[in-house]
Every structure is written in structure tokens, then in C-alpha cells.
Amino acid sequence: MKRLYILLTAIAFFTLHISQVSAQQDPQYSQFWMTRMAFNPGFAGANGAWCGTLLYRNQWTGFGGEPKTFLFTLDAPFYVLHGGVGLVVSNDQIGYTTNRSFGLSYAYRTQIGNGRLGIGVSANYYQQAIDGSKFIANQMDDPSIPFSDVSGGTFDLGLGAYYNTDKLYVGISSQHLQEGTITLPTTTQTTKTTLARHYYLNAGYTVNLTPSLDLKPAVLVKTDAASTQADINANVVYDNRFWGGLSYRLQDAIILNLGLEVITDLKVGLSYDMTTSDVKTYSDGTFEIGINYCHKFVVVRPKTSHKTVRFL
């Protein structure tokens, strides 16, 4: 209970110190406990299993040109390198703009107290593409507007630390460390987009209410130093197979979460964001589905026999 008190105090501290909430460059996910690999390379190998996640998010349905995000992550322990490795692929479409990223991660893991600490780094390629043929401009010869398909990219780096025990996890990370620039050609000049450095704080705890019922509060705070956003979540899990709960994204949405383990190691989660900001006038809410598979492969070593000279 002491650890739970510390976690709740940290959640309250970061919540009270948030001055502005607004959208940032990186995609957001309501089921952020499924997507820790996407924003923290230190998470790689933390489960001691091969874990893959597929997630699709349709944000602000009915808005028109609303964000649609696809995410795939894969991570696994890599004992030869004393840690874990990970893969992250994402495709985020907003209007006529599509942002894609592909990244590889490595985390060195070591035992500290009752838990394990992972220090990780990620190397990514970030691409932005714009379908300019769909633009309707007041001034069709504006040199700053592309009127055809244009794209550009930049290499990207991330860094993170992730500590977990059987009940507690805490992670801190940063993406777009070098704040790379993407150059897009237009009619007579170029347009540049700079990736803002993002920071993430993520924490969660498991409270055993009964032998078959657990309460899992969690928080995700993210900022680009210009704006900050916080998600606060609490799920109730029954028999480690079914879960349901609520999340609150400050000044943005109330989120309903449901999920179940379909078969052994395979879990499916659904979320629905009920928008509370002014966008609710134009939107039917946000839908998200996540599929997670985690399996621990047991290496069976062949038995060996030895003869002794005592028995010939």
C-alpha cells in the first residue's frame, strides 16, 4: 500500500502542475498500457516474453480528415546482449498528411532490488508525406503550397528508462532527441517541418483486491515543453482475463475501456473516447482497438549422461 500511495501522490503532483493541454506531433493512444514500447525504448524485453501489439485508432469519427493511426510493436528479451530488443512501426494520417515511422530499440536490463531496470535507446526513420493534389487554395500559384505528392524524412533518436516489479512499473523517456528537420519540396521553394522533442512519464501499480480481482491504476504524462497532456486510468481486472475501466484525459475526453483474453496469451482491448472539448460538437467520439500477444518460450535443454569409472 505504501507504493500505491507514492504512485497516487505522483499522479496528483503531475496533474496539478499541468497548465495547458493540446495536441502534439506524436499520436496519442487511449490504451497506453498496450503501447509502452512506442514511446519508451527502455521497455524492450521488460515482460521477459515475445510480445506483439497491433493497434488501430480512429480519432474524432465523423469530423472529416480526422486522425487515423495504425501501430505495430514487437519486443523480446535478448539474453546474449543482456537486455531486450524492440521494433516499432506506425502510420498516422491526418487530413492530406501522413506521418510514418520505423524504429529499432535496444534496452540493457539489470536487476535492482525486487525489480528490473531497462535503459534503452531507439533509432528511427521518420517520414512525412503530403498529397498536395487535394488542396484547394485561394491562390493556386502560392509557392509555399505543394500541389502534388511530396515527401521527406529524417533520422530520429529516442532514449528511455523503465523499471518494473511484479506490481509496479515506472518509465521516463524522450523522443525526437535531436529535433530533426523534414524538408518538403513545393512549387518553387521548400517547406520545413521540425520534430519537437517529446517527454513521457508513465507509471502503474497493481492492487490485489481479492484472489481473482485486481485494480490497476496508471498514468501517462506527455509534453513537448510547449504543451502538456495527461491520461489517468483505472482498470479492474477479473481472473487476469477480463478487464474494464475508465480513463480521463485532461480537458479532452472520458474514456471507456473493455477487454478480454480470447485465448491463452492473446488479449483484445477496446476503448471509446467521449470527447469533452469543443470538438464534441463535430465528432462522434474516438474508437480504438488493440490486440496484444505475449508468449514466453521455454528453452528445453537436452539431457546429458556421464559414465563413471566406479561402474563399468
Residue 147 lies in a domain: no
Residue 184 lies in a domain: yes
Residue numbers of the domain that contains 253: 2-133+154-295
Domain at 14, CATH number: 2.40.160.40
Sign of CA dihedral 3, 7, 12, 13: positive
Residue 116 lies in a domain: yes
Residue 31 lies in a domain: yes
**The cell 517529446 sits on which residue?**
198
* Confidence tier at 51 by pLDDT (50, 70, 90): very high
Name the domain count of the chain.
1
- pTM comes to 0.84
Residue 127 lies in a domain: yes
CB atoms within 10 A of CB 176: 20
Write out pLDDT tens, residues 89-143: 999 999 889 999 999 999 999 999 999 999 999 999 999 998 877 766 666 666 6
Write out pLDDT tens, residues 241-295: 999 999 999 989 999 999 999 999 999 999 999 999 888 787 888 999 999 999 9
Residue 261 has φ and ψ, to the nearest 5°, of: -90, 110
Q: Which residues of 194-203 are buried (b: 16+ CB within 10 A; e: fewer)?
A: ebbbbebbbb
C-alpha cell at 244: 474494464
Residue 175 lies in a domain: yes
For residue 309, what are the contacts with CB-CB under 8 A and spacing of at least 6? none
Residue 302 lies in a domain: no
Residue 22 has pLDDT above 50, yes or no: no
Q: Any idea of the CA torsion for 249, 293, 74, 271, to the nearest 10 degrees? A: -20
Pairwise CA distance, residues 91 & 73, whole Å: 12
Mean pLDDT of the chain: 86
Residue 207 lies in a domain: yes
Residue 1: its pLDDT value, please? 45
Q: Which of 146, 148, 149 is nearest to 129 (CA)?
A: 149
* Confidence tier at 312 by pLDDT (50, 70, 90): low
Residue 193 has pLDDT above 90, yes or no: no
Residue 147: its pLDDT value, please? 65
